[in-house]
Amino acid sequence: MSTEVRTRFAPSPTGYLHLGGLRTALYTYLYARKHGGKFILRIEDTDQEREVEGAVDLIYKSMKQAGLHYDEGPDVGGDYGPYIQTQRRDLYPKYAWELVEKGGAYCCFCTKEELDADREAVTAAGGTYKYNKKCLHNVSLEEARRRIAAGEPYVIRQNIPTTGKASFDDMLYGHVEVDCDTLDDNVLIKADGLPTYNFANVIDDHLMGITHVMRGTEYLSSSPKYNLLYEAFGWTPPIYLHLPPVMIESVLRDKKTRALILDENGCEQKIVRKLSKRWGDPSFEDLLQQGYVRDAIVNYIALLGWAPKDTNEEFFSMDDLVRLFDANGISKSPAIFDMNKLTWFNAEYIRRMPPETYAEYARPWLTKVLDESRFDLARLCELLQGRTEIFSQLPGMVDFLAEMPALDPALFTNKKSKSTVESSKAALAFIKPVLEGIGEWTEANLHDVVMAAIAESGMKNATVLWPLRIAITGRAATPGGAFEMAYLLGREETLRRLNAAMAQLSAN
RNA sequence: GCCUCCAUGGUCAAGCGGUCAAGACGUUGCCCUCUCAAGGCAAAAACAUGGGUUCGAUUCCCAUUGGAGGUGCCA
């Protein structure tokens, strides 16, 4: 019986899609596509307390934006629905009771208070807490049924053997085995009647025909327990692939005040921690809003903890990734998210865009600070494309065109251009009439006429052009040289700024 | 504390018993140049430590150290 590959991404609606989640979703998607299988989205919302309003819609939106199209899911349907766990709530107790009857689970009436007291006592003594199976031994099934009928709250716990070993096989980590006596009798069905993750994931993966389970390593050590459940039901467990977390390097801060915590030498302390919204780490949505492009993010995230075989190439489209993806190339240890490299990828993707695409992306950012009717945005985009790393940088790169910044005379002094304030005064005085004499204000004319004048004067290009650019832009760095800037500003504005600069210099 | 997993430059990583230990980002220097970018060239930078196994270990085994995860009526 050859079964179709079916993978699933199963987030909890607790907020935005973080980058670690995006990567898990991506790998899961790639695996399904690579093997011609189905990719399924399932919402795991059994913890009502943690659920965040609107988070489910955010997940749909992010998945679409990321290009991770699922074949089945809450909002697209499918033959194995519903795909939201709270909508499947009636289904779980049935299976739990089946397990109770088979001896793989039992009802527990212990209150939280009792259990917390036990736990505290045991941990205080330095031991490892485990539920003591009190209700398994002391409460018969008949008594349990009677107490439940009488309305007493209860949970259903997994009955884990006290001896022997539990294990599972992972595509990445291989055979993982633990002693059963280190395992706790987890709650399968909570007092509110909803299943815990421990139970729901097993039931749903089985019922939905999931063949390959990809998820974070936070489940690595509990997966042997899940296999015990599969065994008890007589089901075939899926193939597992656990993924290490994505980390970020940051500085140590106080949890409440967010103030830096310094070491004894007064230095910042670097720490590596999991990516988290709490500390302001960017989500996928955030990155898009900051002007990172989708394909660059996906490309970078794919390579964070994974590398294709037999190639040093780093630029991959989604199709490339589907073709190349191979679980063997996944790294077993956590990877640190590097904003630097993401930004480099983004800049490369931007450079490789067709100019029209670039202009579409750039226009909204440019018009934040520039009046479209005053500037040749098409030309500006040409100049900007090779210099854009992130679109959000754009306003800050061009705002000087809209309004001349305060001019700092110190900028005129530049060693490489051999220019000083004095030489700049002379250069500006020299160039002003040349500019005034230009007929048609085009870049070509500006270039040809000014270069000719400089050549005739015997001065160095930079000695004249550096101060000119400074005088009309007020900036040490601009997205183009003096000619481009003069062209963009236009004749009138260029000469106005030039005059103002000369006046300022001679007043000093 | 206990359990599971992991360990190549600052970061991402190739390597899967014999290599001068790839490549990319970042860093530094030089070139190009009317600024900044981009581009070109070059440099610094790694097999955590200690034991085994082996003719030979980055590679296999064990320990130590370090890191991650788990130890919830969270997922």
- The nucleotide lying nearest A344 (C-alpha to C1') is B25
Cis bond leading into A82, ω under 30°? yes
Q: Look at residues A442, A435, A443 and name the one whose alpha carbon lies nearest to residue A468.
A: A435
Q: Please give the Cα distance from A10 to A26 (Å, whole number).
A: 12
And the tokens for A249?
């390097």
- CA-to-C1' distance for A318 and B43, Å? 36
- The nucleotide lying nearest A49 (C-alpha to C1') is B74
Beta carbons of A217 and A120 less than 8 angstroms apart: no
* Per-residue confidence (pLDDT) for residue A379, from 0 to 100: 97
Handedness of CA A72, A73, A78, A81 (dihedral sign): positive
Q: What does pTM read for this prediction?
A: 0.95
- The nucleotide lying nearest A336 (C-alpha to C1') is B11
Question: Among chain A residues 33 through 62, which have CB within 7 angstroms of nucleic chain B?
Answer: 44, 46-47, 49-50
- The nucleotide lying nearest A109 (C-alpha to C1') is B73
Question: Among chain A residues 137 through 176, which have CB within 7 angstroms of nucleic chain B?
Answer: 153, 155, 173-174, 176
- Domain A248-350 CATH class label: mainly alpha
What are the C-alpha distances in Å from A267 to residues A47, A251, A338, A432, A477? Answer: 41, 10, 22, 52, 32
- The nucleotide lying nearest A11 (C-alpha to C1') is B75
Q: Please give the Cα distance from A463 to A456 (Å, whole number).
A: 14
- CA-to-C1' distance for A480 and B35, Å? 7
Q: Look at residues A173, A186, A167 and name the one whose alpha carbon lies nearest to residue A216.
A: A173
- Whether nucleic acid strand B comes within 7 Å of the CB of A252, the answer is no
Amino acid at A268: E
- CA-to-C1' distance for A311 and B19, Å? 18
- Whether nucleic acid strand B comes within 7 Å of the CB of A335, the answer is yes
CATH code for the structural domain at A91-243: 3.40.50.620
Q: Please give the Cα distance from A91 to A58 (Å, whole number).
A: 27
* Per-residue confidence (pLDDT) for residue A387, from 0 to 100: 98
Parts of chain A with a pLDDT under 50:
1
Beta carbons of A174 and A201 less than 8 angstroms apart: no
Residues of A with active-site annotation: 277
* Per-residue confidence (pLDDT) for residue A508, from 0 to 100: 67
Q: Which residue is nearest to nucleotide B24 (CA to C1')?
A: A314
- Whether nucleic acid strand B comes within 7 Å of the CB of A10, the answer is yes
Question: Among chain A residues 96 through 115, which have CB within 7 angstroms of nucleic chain B?
Answer: 110-112, 115
- Whether nucleic acid strand B comes within 7 Å of the CB of A219, the answer is yes
- CA-to-C1' distance for A125 and B1, Å? 10
What are the C-alpha distances in Å from A318 to residues A68, A167, A225, A251? Answer: 9, 35, 35, 34
- Whether nucleic acid strand B comes within 7 Å of the CB of A191, the answer is yes
- CA-to-C1' distance for A245 and B59, Å? 25
Q: Look at residues A401, A423, A405, A402 and name the one whose alpha carbon lies nearest to residue A467.
A: A423
- Is A409-507 in CATH node 3.30.930.10? no
- The nucleotide lying nearest A218 (C-alpha to C1') is B69
Q: What is the pLDDT of residues A339-366, one digit of tens each?
A: 999 999 999 999 999 999 999 999 999 9
- Contacting residues for A166 by C-beta, under 8 A, at least 6 apart: A160, A177, A178, A180, A183, A224, A225, A227, A228
Chain B: positions less than 7 Å from a protein CB are 1-8, 10-16, 22-26, 33-38, 67-75
Beta carbons of A334 and A244 less than 8 angstroms apart: yes
Which spans in A458-490 are helix H? Answer: 461-473, 482-489
Residue A125 gets the label, from left (phi > 0), alpha (psi -120 to 50) or beta, of alpha
- CA-to-C1' distance for A445 and B28, Å? 40
